[in-house]
Amino acid sequence: MGRVEFLENLCKGCLLCTEVCPKKIIVQADRFNKQGYKVVEIKPENMDKCMGCGFCSLICPDSALVVYKTVQEQACA
């Protein structure tokens, strides 16, 4: 299970993340950020499809997204 946080001010709307996402849940938004770039987003309804694979984060040239992955807490730490 995963979740993605977008750092919109860093995003340049290159869309590279949209292609590598195995779930194809990242899409171009209608918004522009203050640098004038059309950013990407995951529609809220799609967020739970995210596997937390981090591919989007890996390929993003501008480190504009942070991927969180749910991890099973170990029984005894």
Binding residues for ligand SF4, per CB under 6 A?
2, 4, 11-17, 20-23, 25-26, 40, 50-56, 60, 62, 64-65, 67
Identify which range of 24-32, 40-48, 66-74 contacts other proteins by CB under 8 A. 66-74
Cβ contact 40:16 at 8 Å: no
* Phi and psi torsions of 50, nearest 5°: -65, 130
Sites for other proteins among residues 10-49 (CB under 8 A): 10, 12-16, 19-20, 35-37
- Among ligand SF4, other proteins, none, partner that 41 touches (CB below 5 to 8 angstroms by kind): none
DSSP state of 3: E
Q: On the CB side of 40, how many CA atoms lie within 13 Å of its CA?
A: 25
